[in-house]
Structure 1
Amino acid sequence: MKVVHVCLNKNGGAAAAAWRLHLALLQSGVNSWFYTLEPRGAEDPAQQWICWKEPKYNCWQRIKAYSIRKYWQWQTAGSRKELHTMAVTYAALLPGITAEMVSLPDAQKNILEDPLLQDADIIHLHWVALFIKQHEFFRRARGRYALCWTLHDLNPISGLFHYHYDVKRNPQAALLEQEVLAFKLRCMQEYGQPVVAIAPNTWMQQQIQQSDFAAHMQAVDIPYCLPMQPAAPVSRLQARRQLGIDAHQTVLLAVVESTTVARKQTNLIYEVATQFPNIQWEIAGHYTNGTLAGSNMRLHGFISNNSYMQLLYTAADAVVIPSAEDNLPNVMLEAFACGTPVLSFAVGGMQQYVVPGLTGYTSTNMSAEGLQQLIQQWLDAPQQPEADVIRQFAQQHFDAQHIAQQHQQLYQQLLTTLPS
Structure 2
Amino acid sequence: RCYTLPTSIIDVSRYPLIQEADVIHLHWINHFVDYPSFFKKVKKPFVWTLHDENLFLGIAHYTESKSYGGDLEAEYYHKKMKIVKGIERLGIVFLSEMMYNQYRQHEMILNAKTTIINNAVDYNNYYPAKKNIARQQMGIPQDAVVFVFVSAELFDSRKGLDILVKALENMQILNVMILAIGTVGSYQVSSTVNAIGPIYNIEKMSLAYSCADYFVMPSCQEAFAQTPIEAMSCGVPAIVFPVSGTRELINKTNGILCNGFTQKDLEEGINKAMNTVYDSDEIRKDVIARFSPEKIAKSYMDFYNQILLDKKL
The two structures have a TM-score, normalised by structure 1, of 0.68
Question: Amino acid of the residue matched to residue 78 of structure 2?
Answer: A
Question: Amino acid of the residue matched to residue 402 of structure 1?
Answer: K
Cα drift, residue 114 of structure 1: 2.0
Matched, 1:125 2:17: no
Out of 101, 113, 123, the position equivalent to 1:206 is 101
Matched, 1:241 2:241: no
Out of 100, 108, 114, the position equivalent to 2:15 is 114
Given that 1:259 and 1:267 are in contact with CA atoms closer than 8 Å, whether structure 2 keeps it comes out as no
Matched, 1:135 2:40: no
Cα drift, residue 318 of structure 1: 0.8
Tell me the secondary structure at the aligned position of residue 195 of structure 2.
Answer: strand
Residue 284 of structure 1 corresponds to: 181
Change over 3 Å in CA distance of 1:287–1:210 after alignment to 2: farther
Cα drift, residue 295 of structure 1: 2.2
Cα drift, residue 184 of structure 1: 1.2
| Equivalent residues in 2 for 1:197-346, closer than 5 Å | 197-227=92-122, 229-230=124-125, 233-275=128-170, 276=172, 278=174, 279-289=176-186, 291-346=187-242
Question: Amino acid of the residue matched to residue 290 of structure 2?
Answer: H
User: C-alpha deviations, 1:86-107, integer Å up to 9, x for none?
Assistant: xxxxxxxxxxxxxx42012111
CA distance in 2, matches of 1:232, 1:318: 15
Tell me the secondary structure at the aligned position of residue 323 of structure 1.
Answer: coil
Given that 1:126 and 1:149 are in contact with CA atoms closer than 8 Å, whether structure 2 keeps it comes out as yes
Tell me the secondary structure at the aligned position of residue 257 of structure 1.
Answer: strand
Cα drift, residue 228 of structure 1: 6.1
Q: Unaligned 5+ residue runs, structure 1? A: 1-99
CA distance in 2, matches of 1:396, 1:174: 46
Cα drift, residue 402 of structure 1: 1.6
Residue 155 of structure 1 corresponds to: 54
CA distance in 1, matches of 2:193, 2:68: 38
Change over 3 Å in CA distance of 1:377–1:267 after alignment to 2: same
Name the Cα RMSD after superposition: 2.2
Residue 21 of structure 1 corresponds to: none
Change over 3 Å in CA distance of 1:374–1:136 after alignment to 2: same
Cα drift, residue 269 of structure 1: 3.0
Cα drift, residue 232 of structure 1: 5.2
Out of 242, 263, 268, the position equivalent to 1:368 is 263
| Equivalent residues in 2 for 1:1-80, closer than 5 Å | none
Given that 1:101 and 1:162 are in contact with CA atoms closer than 8 Å, whether structure 2 keeps it comes out as yes
Out of 399, 404, 414, the position equivalent to 2:292 is 399
How many equivalent residue pairs?
Answer: 310
CA distance in 2, matches of 1:153, 1:186: 20
Given that 1:257 and 1:287 are in contact with CA atoms closer than 8 Å, whether structure 2 keeps it comes out as no
CA distance in 1, matches of 2:297, 2:28: 19
CA distance in 2, matches of 1:135, 1:262: 34
Question: Amino acid of the residue matched to residue 77 of structure 2?
Answer: L
Given that 2:121 and 2:292 are in contact with CA atoms closer than 8 Å, whether structure 1 keeps it comes out as yes
Q: Unaligned 5+ residue runs, structure 2? A: none
Question: Amino acid of the residue matched to residue 263 of structure 2?
Answer: A
Tell me the secondary structure at the aligned position of residue 252 of structure 1.
Answer: strand
Given that 2:215 and 2:238 are in contact with CA atoms closer than 8 Å, whether structure 1 keeps it comes out as yes
Q: Which of structure 1's runs of 4+ aligned residues deviate more than 4 A?
A: none
Tell me the secondary structure at the aligned position of residue 404 of structure 1.
Answer: helix
CA distance in 2, matches of 1:158, 1:252: 36
Cα drift, residue 229 of structure 1: 2.5
Out of 278, 281, 298, the position equivalent to 1:388 is 281
User: C-alpha deviations, 1:22-44, integer Å up to 9, x for none?
Assistant: xxxxxxxxxxxxxxxxxxxxxxx
- With 318-327 and 247-256 compared, the bigger mean Cα shift is at 247-256
Tell me the secondary structure at the aligned position of residue 324 of structure 1.
Answer: coil
CA distance in 1, matches of 2:164, 2:65: 21
Given that 2:149 and 2:181 are in contact with CA atoms closer than 8 Å, whether structure 1 keeps it comes out as yes
Given that 2:154 and 2:182 are in contact with CA atoms closer than 8 Å, whether structure 1 keeps it comes out as no
Give the number of the structure with larger relative contact order, counting CA–CA contacts within 8 Å between residues 6 or more apart: 2
User: C-alpha deviations, 1:3-28, integer Å up to 9, x for none?
Assistant: xxxxxxxxxxxxxxxxxxxxxxxxxx
CA distance in 2, matches of 1:211, 1:405: 27
Change over 3 Å in CA distance of 1:292–1:375 after alignment to 2: farther
Matched, 1:102 2:7: no
